[in-house]
Amino acid sequence: MKMISKTATILILFLLPNCSTDAPRYSEKLEKELVGLSRLTLTQKEKNSLLSRISGDAVLDFPVYSLQGEALSRAQIREQEMNMTVDGFGPDTANIKAVVFRSMTKTELDDFFHDFEKRMERAKKARPDLKGKPAPAFVAKDVHGNTVDLAALKGKVVALNFWFIHCHPCVLEMPELNQTVQNFSGKEVVFIGLTFDKEAETKSFLLRRKFDYQIVADAQQVFDRYGGPPSPTNIVIDKNGQVAFVEYGYRPHKQESYKNLNGAINKALGEH
């Protein structure tokens, strides 16, 4: 787990400029907007659900405020999704009356990555050793309705990326993945991104975040076939359908993940 801890530390350093080092400070204006409302204790799952709702397209029946007490539009929320969390207010989680959208504090970031590390450790015990073995086959539809059949791609190199919308490292990695797609333009390489997020949420996300992979949403069954890999995970499958490379997590230091992935694809193409 030393590698994961190092990754988490690097990511925290990347994200610290956008977060406070103590409890969030509500402005006097925000306090007035929230008078009479009780702050709810939300689980991370409930916070993620709220984040999806306020950044999606469905009509909201509650206002979303900044720490300064300003009512935020959908466009404003979508401009600053990275490293964000929410506080919910109301009688209970089924009856949200107001939401505060804000940056994570340093403590919250530390807790996030600590929990991420523990989940990685638990998943590791049940994770199959894929490298050198036939890649688990799957057939799915991408967000444009095109069929993605892994078996039909035999003879090409396939790069898989497992991600989800509210995975900070996943989104941080996307510019490097987009550059990788450009690097192999015109070559026999297929890039497929797999997320368990719902298709509507994924399409909305892709309107505001560039990701040049062929995207498959609602892909929990594919995650399961690959042993429930943590996000992000990059896998390279060679022309014979064998798993040639697996890397869990994202290592931005000196573009380590970028170099590893590009090197693995070159090797699978026979161009190392």
C-alpha distance across the termini of the chain, in Å: 29
Structure tokens at 66: 């900044």
> Under a CB-based contact definition with an 8 Å cutoff, are residues 264 and 245 in contact?
yes
Q: CA 182, CA 175: separation in Å to the nearest integer? A: 11
Domains of the chain: 24-104 (no CATH), 132-269 (3.40.30.10)
Over the stretch 90-148, which tens digit does the pLDDT of each residue have? Answer: 999 999 999 999 998 888 877 877 776 676 666 666 667 899 999 999 999 999 999 99
Q: CA 162, CA 182: separation in Å to the nearest integer? A: 19
Position 81 scores a pLDDT of: 65
Instruction: Give the DSSP H or E segment for 204.
Output: helix 199-208
pTM of this prediction exceeds 0.75? no
Structure tokens at 22: 């103590």
SS3 state of residue 70: coil
- Per-residue pLDDT at 169 exceeds 60: yes
Position 1 scores a pLDDT of: 31
Q: CA 205, CA 216: separation in Å to the nearest integer? A: 13
